[in-house]
């Protein structure tokens, strides 16, 4: 949906000459006459578009030069990582949404500006981002959604490996799935935080659309379906209705499913459209997920915390003391300091039998005073509090 902003042109930037766009195309069946009739109108509209393109291109080049200037102002830094400022990017994108008066949707404009910033940053050197590969996974889509296509994606074979590659500095950042709106938590991701020193420095929300893909594109050929267990679960109703007898074979990723389906006529895969393009498969059907709002949330892993963006979330890992009311006393300070808790999840603490660690997400940044105070109070009732990250809330 387009935003409700003021739609003002930026100061110092002269908008292209205003003019009314031509009326909508004529109805089908009158194509010849309509084409002739709109000849001058078409030429005028294209002339205006040419002029606007020239203005846009000039401004993008000017923006890229200013981004270089900002880069120099940051000092004699070397890797792209030193130039990356997620809090600033989030602020830029929020302003884009705020200003948007249509006709393009907020998501579209955010995507375009994301790509411009990605290209501006890559003038230094592209960021290297580890993700659960191979090419064509939803994790790769999340990488592009958050870092733009100028970032360099590093496909890895497991979530554990994504953590390792960021820890060992082979990747600047990593992107890992943490929860799905229908299927819940990806437990391996949470468990990695029990021992990892990495910080969460961003989140990405991705609408996940699943497709049934195969070499022939014909449903009647399918006897086996390869898919990640999460995808099988997300498409249960569709599978029951359309392929009740087909064998369901779990794979380590959707893209791996597509890769395997590529080599047999009687096999199909559940995966995203992009995996279909990468592995040359045709869509039998899609989207086939049971819930139309199927969304996966990913975390961006880095090695350091960034400053507040103005709309942030903090994730902590809390080991509660084994005493009555301990969890209540850990959560109470959040309410007392006006912080809104978005999520709480318990996992075996790996610190003795039946001990649990609580993953808690709440609004605010560790540099904010109310968060600081709440963490101090929580510390009195917890045996340990580990700050996993403070990061900008996802912008669309």
Ligand X SMILES: O=C(O)C(=O)C[C@]1(C(=O)O)C=C[C@@H](O)C=C1
Instruction: Out of 93, 97, 109, 121, point to the residue binding ligand X (CB under 6 A).
Output: 121
Instruction: Out of 90, 96, 110, 120, point to the residue binding ligand X (CB under 6 A).
Output: 120
Residue 117 makes contact with ligand X by CB under 6 A: yes
Residue 90 makes contact with ligand X by CB under 6 A: no
| Cα separation, 299 vs 318, whole angstroms | 19
Residue 67 makes contact with ligand X by CB under 6 A: yes
Residue 149 makes contact with ligand X by CB under 6 A: no
| Cα separation, 297 vs 394, whole angstroms | 9
Nearest to ligand X of 68, 196 (CB atom): 68
For residue 82, give the DSSP letter: G
Per-residue x/- marks for ligand X, 163-182, CB under 6 A? --------------------
Which stretch, 51-59, 114-122, 138-146, 350-358, contacts ligand X (CB under 6 A)?
A: 114-122
Sheet strands (E) in the chain: 128-132, 152-156, 173-180, 184-185, 199-207, 211-214, 224-227, 247-250, 267-271, 282-285, 295-302, 312-320, 341-348, 356-363, 382-392
Which stretch, 30-38, 51-59, 84-92, 365-373, contacts ligand X (CB under 6 A)?
A: 84-92
Residue 102 vs residues 4, 10, 13, 60, 212: alpha-carbon distances, Å: 9, 16, 19, 20, 34
Nearest to ligand X of 111, 386 (CB atom): 111
* Residue nearest ligand X, Cβ-based: 120
Which stretch, 64-72, 139-147, 290-298, 370-378, contacts ligand X (CB under 6 A)?
A: 64-72
Range 71-76, long-range pairs (CB < 8 A, 24+ positions): 71/123, 71/124
Instruction: Out of 81, 84, 176, 177, point to the residue binding ligand X (CB under 6 A).
Output: 84
**DSSP element (H, E) containing 237:** helix 236-242
Which stretch, 88-96, 129-137, 237-245, 362-370, contacts ligand X (CB under 6 A)?
A: 88-96
Least distance CB 65 / ligand X (angstroms): 11
Least distance CB 121 / ligand X (angstroms): 4
Residue 206 makes contact with ligand X by CB under 6 A: no
Residue given tokens 């249960």 in the structure block: 236
109 contacts 97 by C-beta, under 8 angstroms: yes
131 contacts 162 by C-beta, under 8 angstroms: yes
| Cα separation, 300 vs 86, whole angstroms | 10
Least distance CB 352 / ligand X (angstroms): 43
For ligand X, the binding residues (CB under 6 A) are 67, 70-71, 83-85, 88-89, 92, 117, 120-121
């Amino acid at each position: 949906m387009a935003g409700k902003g003021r739609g003002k042109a930026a100061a110092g930037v002269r908008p292209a000459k205003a003019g009314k766009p031509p009326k909508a195309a004529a109805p089908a069946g009158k194509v010849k006459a309509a084409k002739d009739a709109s000849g001058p109108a078409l030429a005028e509209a294209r002339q205006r578009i040419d002029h606007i393109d020239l203005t846009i291109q000039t401004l993008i080049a000017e923006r890229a030069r200013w981004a270089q200037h900002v880069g120099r102002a940051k000092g004699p830094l070397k890797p792209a990582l030193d130039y990356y400022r997620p809090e600033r990017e989030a602020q830029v994108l929020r302003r884009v949404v705020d200003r948007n008066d249509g006709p393009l949707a907020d998501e579209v404009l955010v995507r375009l500006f994301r790509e411009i910033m990605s290209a501006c940053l890559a003038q230094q050197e592209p960021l290297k981002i580890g993700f659960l590969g191979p090419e064509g996974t939803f994790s790769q889509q999340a990488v592009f959604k958050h870092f733009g296509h100028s970032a360099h994606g590093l496909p890895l074979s497991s979530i554990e490996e994504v953590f390792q590659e960021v820890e060992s500095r082979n990747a600047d950042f990593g992107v890992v799935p943490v929860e799905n709106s229908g299927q819940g938590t990806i437990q391996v991701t949470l468990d990695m935080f029990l021992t990892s020193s990495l910080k969460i420095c961003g989140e990405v929300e991705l609408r996940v659309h699943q497709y049934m893909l195969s070499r022939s594109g014909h449903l009647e050929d399918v006897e086996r379906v390869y898919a990640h267990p999460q995808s099988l679960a997300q498409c249960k109703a569709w599978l029951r209705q359309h392929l009740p007898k087909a064998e369901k074979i779990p794979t380590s990723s959707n893209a791996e499913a597509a890769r395997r389906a590529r080599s047999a006529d009687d096999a199909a895969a559940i995966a995203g459209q992009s995996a279909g393009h990468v592995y040359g498969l045709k869509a039998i059907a899609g989207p086939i997920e049971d819930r139309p709002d199927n969304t996966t949330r990913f975390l961006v892993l880095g090695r350091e915390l960034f400053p507040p963006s103005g709309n942030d979330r903090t994730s902590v890992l809390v080991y509660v003391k084994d005493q009555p009311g301990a969890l209540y006393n850990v959560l109470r300070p959040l309410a007392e300091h006006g912080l809104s808790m978005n999520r709480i999840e318990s996992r075996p603490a790996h610190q003795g039998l039946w001990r649990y660690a609580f993953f808690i997400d709440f609004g605010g940044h560790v540099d904010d005073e109310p968060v600081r105070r709440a963490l101090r109070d929580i510390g009195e009732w917890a045996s340990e509090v580990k700050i996993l990250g403070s990061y900008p809330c996802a912008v669309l």
